[in-house]
Structure 1
Amino acid sequence: MKHLLTVLLCIATMSCAQEKTPIAGDTEFQRKINAEYKDATKSPLKNKDRKDFKGLDFFKFDSTFVVKASLERTPDSKWFKMQTTTSRVSDERIYGVLTFELKGQTHQLNIYQGKDLMSTEGFEDYLFLPFLDNTNGESTYGGGRYIDMKIPNANTVEIDFNRAYNPYCAYNEKYSCPIVPRENYLDIEVRAGVKKFHD
């Protein structure tokens, strides 16, 4: 009887070995992306990689990689075909130019707006910040990383490089990922965000 009560208590409280492992991550962003990648309905990971997935490898959060940037909008910029890792192209335009200080230097990055997403529910104000830096191919994915942003009301925005993530094609070649334009290269090491994936 005592054994039966123990079993029932274990089932009721989910405290047995079947208990779900807490989602790994030091920040809300890290826990959110780890939860998505563990979820078979959302994950870009191959089945073999998701099976034993515990969490992505991140740089330790570093507040020096959270910067304020001025935004110079470019409303007359032309739409162009952004190349991807497949034959697909993406209709994009430069929404504006971000200027900011990082590691004692002034940097500029173009921030992009996708034509298709402008008419997609929930993504009407989505902006795309792809970038390359001197960690690519070593501690981070060779093709660069992305940061998701939204159209701001003001002419300043916060860029949090701790939220930089890899394109889906870093995990699975079936995806078609925009190729980071060369003009979005930062001549520094951005040791923040998601590291290279080791499958």
Structure 2
Amino acid sequence: MSTDWRETVRRQRAEKDDYFGDHPRSPIPDDERDEFEGLNYYPIDEDYRFALSLREHEDKERVTVSTSTEGEQEYVRWGEFRFEADGEDVTLQAYKSDPDEDRLWVPFRDETSGDETYGAGRYLDLEPADHRIAPDESDDGERDDEGEDDAEWILDFNQAYNPTCAYSDRYECPLPPMENWLDVAIEAGEKTYH
């Protein structure tokens, strides 16, 4: 397996630290920026990176998701990923805020939530250009336009991140639905912000 994905994760983390530390629209409160030295992450671990088929739901239900400010947002339950983590069979639902968009949103809580990671849970955003691969994709990262129905998604928990409300209560964040509360520890991605 190519190691390029590791470099991509390292670069994304460095760019996020730069943005959070310096950008005017950073979610880090202004009075904490001078002391900001970067976010905390688990070491990059290939065991938390999966190539999975999305089991698209025939009946794509609209679900109401609670938010961190006691509000509500609506999503479409689009499909599910099934895999094994920490010796356990796991199912995670993937959602769309708009049925016409291509990206998938995969929020989750796990056994690290509230301890090593943000208590309300973390997110994965899956973009087709970056996370969807055709069955005959070569190791150099080139994609074939054919075989789209058989394509797999890369579910990389090394890219799991905290919602903006983890840094400041001025944000409203959708919370992972209970169906995505996992009974396993996902020791990958972003840790709690201190």
TM-score by length of 2: 0.79
Shift of 1:37: 1.1
Contact 1:126 1:148 in 2 (8 A): yes
- Count how many residue pairs are aligned between Structure 1 and Structure 2: 168
Q: Which residue of 2 aligns with 1:140?
A: 117
Q: Which residue of 2 aligns with 1:187?
A: 183
Q: 1:99 aligns with which of 52, 65, 82?
A: 82
CA deviations on 1:133-161 (whole Å, 9 max, x unpaired) are 10111111111100111254445211110
CA deviations on 1:12-66 (whole Å, 9 max, x unpaired) are xxxxxxxxxxxxx971221122122123333111001222212101111111111
Contact 1:66 1:160 in 2 (8 A): yes
Q: Percent identity?
A: 33
Shift of 1:68: 2.1
Q: Which residue of 1 aligns with 2:104?
A: 127
CA distance in 1, matches of 2:25, 2:97: 21
CA distance in 1, matches of 2:169, 2:40: 20
Amino acid at match of 2:163: P
Amino acid at match of 2:31: K
Query: Does residue 1:49 correspond to 2:32, yes or no?
Result: yes
Higher relative contact order (CA 8 A, sep 6+): 2
Structure 1: give runs of 5+ residues left out of the alignment: 1-24
Q: Which residue of 1 aligns with 2:160?
A: 164
Q: For the aligned residues, what is the CA RMSD? A: 2.0
Structure 2: give runs of 5+ residues left out of the alignment: 1-7, 133-147
Q: 2:46 aligns with which of 39, 45, 63?
A: 63
**Pairs within 5 Å for 1:19-34:** 27-34=10-17
Contact 1:134 1:189 in 2 (8 A): yes
When Rg is computed on C-alpha atoms for both structures, the one with the higher figure is 1
Rate the CA distance shift 1:87–1:26 in 2: closer, same or farther, 3 A: closer
CA distance in 2, matches of 1:39, 1:75: 45
